[in-house]
Amino acid sequence: MINYLRKIFKSGWEGFMRQGFLTFSTSLVIFIAVVLGTGLLFFQGGVSYLTQQIKDKIDISVTFKSDVPRDTILGIRDDLTKLGQVKKVDYISPEDAYNTFIEAHEGDEYMEALGLLSVNPFMPSLRIQTKEPSQYKDVSEFLKKEEYAGYISEVNDYKRGVTIERLGELTRSVQVLGISLTLFLSLIAIIITFNTLRLSIYSQKEEIEIMRLVGAKNSFIRGPFLVQGFLCGLFAAIISFMILTIVLFIFNKQLTTLFIGFDSLAFFKNNVFWVILLQMFVGAGLGLISSYFAVRKYLRD
């Protein structure tokens, strides 16, 4: 059995090495499919990054009356933290708000206006981030409770509600679009690869016939074609991995600017195992499966 498999691998390897043009054209198409697959992985990474960025920017700001003691506010913060929808609550003291304002507006006309005041005009507040943009409503409902109403000066969700809702819809749309695009382009890549391999095996139809006539079993004919398809896929995956690595290391700065801050190189480094796995799976898998179906036509009963 091992000897039989060795012969099949040897024959497949010979075909891969000697049928230069066929190997090149098949590998090229699989390479495109692998690049597309890898691109989609990065696209998903970019979409997640963008979604997270948007989510992080969505918050509810609760401003308390100036006479509300710090401990009361921290108590309300603890109550909020216990809510399942809440991701993070930050307490911002009047001093923190004052300092932040100074840092942001140093030297401009707002600072002049602030200078005219003899007291700190900022009031203590809580900045709340929910796990999902749509959950801001639950949090604002929670804050409308009678026990808190006396302390709260303003909950700014009423003004930003529409924006939050729209941003939420946008992130959902981007995700749905990303998944749809992934599925659509993957399907196209599979169809193109399968048809290319079908054509390349069709061009060897006569050779298959010769193998049959000299008395080779179907498995002995099919085996080398599968090995050849697998090797073409593996070759395409290795080349695409090398090109991807080089491109990311050389053009990372430009790519980060192009993709609104999404650091492709960092994503690549963090997911290198998945990138290799995906490329091997797409390349070798497509080569193997497409060869199987393409050669099956000539070996049917």
Q: Where are the beta strands (DSSP E) in the chain?
A: 60-64, 86-92, 125-130, 152-155
d(CA 269, CA 58): 29
- φ/ψ of 294, rounded to 5, equals -70, -40
User: In terms of CB distance, is 47 or 197 closer to another protein?
Assistant: 197
d(CA 102, CA 104): 5
* CA quadruple 279, 281, 282, 287: dihedral sign: positive
Residue count of the chain:
301
Q: CB nearer to another protein: give 159 or 296.
A: 296
Minimum CB distance to another protein, residue 51 (Å) = 51
Beta bridge pairs of residue 63: 125, 154
Q: Which is nearer to another protein, 162 or 214 (CB)?
A: 214
Nearer to another protein, 174 or 216 (CB): 216
Catalog residues that contact another protein under the rule CB under 8 A.
3-4, 7, 11, 14-15, 18-19, 206-207, 209-218, 220, 299-301
Tell the smallest beta-carbon distance from residue 223 to another protein (Å): 11
Q: Which one, of 250, 175, 233, 241, lies nearest residue 30 by Cα?
A: 233
Give the nearer residue to another protein in terms of CB position, either 19 or 72.
Answer: 19
89 or 294: whose CB is closer to another protein? Answer: 294
Output the smallest distance, CB 228 to another protein, in A: 11
Report the distance separating Cα 14 and Cα 297, nearest Å. Answer: 23
Cα gap 187→8, rounded to integer Å: 30
Tell the smallest beta-carbon distance from residue 11 to another protein (Å): 8
Shortest distance (Å) from residue 172 CB to another protein: 52
Strand partners, 61: 127
Angle between helices 20-57 and 218-258 (to 10 degrees): 40
CB of 207 to another protein, least distance (A): 6
